[in-house]
């Protein structure tokens, strides 16, 4: 029988020493934002229902949404949605082989971060201010 040699690869288990490039960070944040949106979906549905059911429930919605902590959470959700949306468009373009070279991938990752943060600031100003 032929012997199969298995190479022992070095393992770096110290997560604080791993330095991801910008596209790697974008990919991880895309997943994190998707999970955050999914987990907060019941809260968002409750807020939407409270805003459209009756005038009394709309008053309850305004009381909850007017609290500074709720505004902070909603701003985080706006960022999560904007980031997930923009990164999703980038990943769709990568799937059709647009911008797959290293320079384009790094540039598009920076653009996604900039656009998602700008859209978050604009929507936060319009919706939560």
pLDDT tens digit string along 20-59?
A: 999 999 999 999 999 999 999 999 998 899 889 999 999 9
pLDDT digits (tens, 9 = 90+) for 51-97: 899 999 999 889 988 999 999 999 999 999 999 999 999 999 999 99
- A 10 A CB-CB count for 17 gives 7
Across 84-116, b (16+ Cβ under 10 Å) vs e yields bbbbeebeeeeeeeebeeeeebeebbeebbebb
pLDDT at 6 over 80: no
Mean predicted confidence (pLDDT) in 10-29: 87
Q: How far apart are CA 16 and CA 20, in angstroms?
A: 11
Mean pLDDT to the nearest integer, 2-18: 76
Identify the weakest region by mean pLDDT among 2-11, 38-47, 116-125: 2-11
Whether pLDDT at 117 is above 60: yes
Residue 16 DSSP code: G
Residue 127's Cβ-side half-sphere holds a number of Cα atoms within 13 Å equal to: 17
The domain 22-127 is placed in CATH, from the list 2.40.160.40, 3.40.250.10, 1.20.1300.10, 1.10.540.10, at: 1.20.1300.10
DSSP 3-state of 86: helix
pLDDT at 13 over 80: no
pLDDT computed for residue 1 by the predictor: 56
The domain limits of the chain are: 22-127
């Amino acid at each position: 029988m032929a012997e199969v040699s298995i190479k022992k690869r070095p393992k770096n288990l110290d997560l604080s020493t791993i330095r991801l490039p910008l596209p790697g960070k974008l990919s991880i944040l895309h997943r994190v934002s998707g999970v955050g949106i999914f987990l907060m979906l019941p809260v968002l549905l409750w807020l939407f229902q409270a805003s459209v059911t009756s005038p009394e429930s709309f008053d309850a919605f305004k009381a909850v949404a007017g609290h500074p902590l709720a505004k902070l959470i909603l701003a985080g959700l706006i960022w999560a949605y904007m980031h997930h949306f923009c990164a999703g468009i980038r990943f769709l373009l990568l799937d059709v082989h647009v911008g797959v070279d290293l320079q384009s991938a790094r540039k598009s990752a920076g653009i996604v971060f900039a656009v998602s943060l700008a859209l978050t600031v604009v929507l936060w100003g319009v919706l939560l201010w």
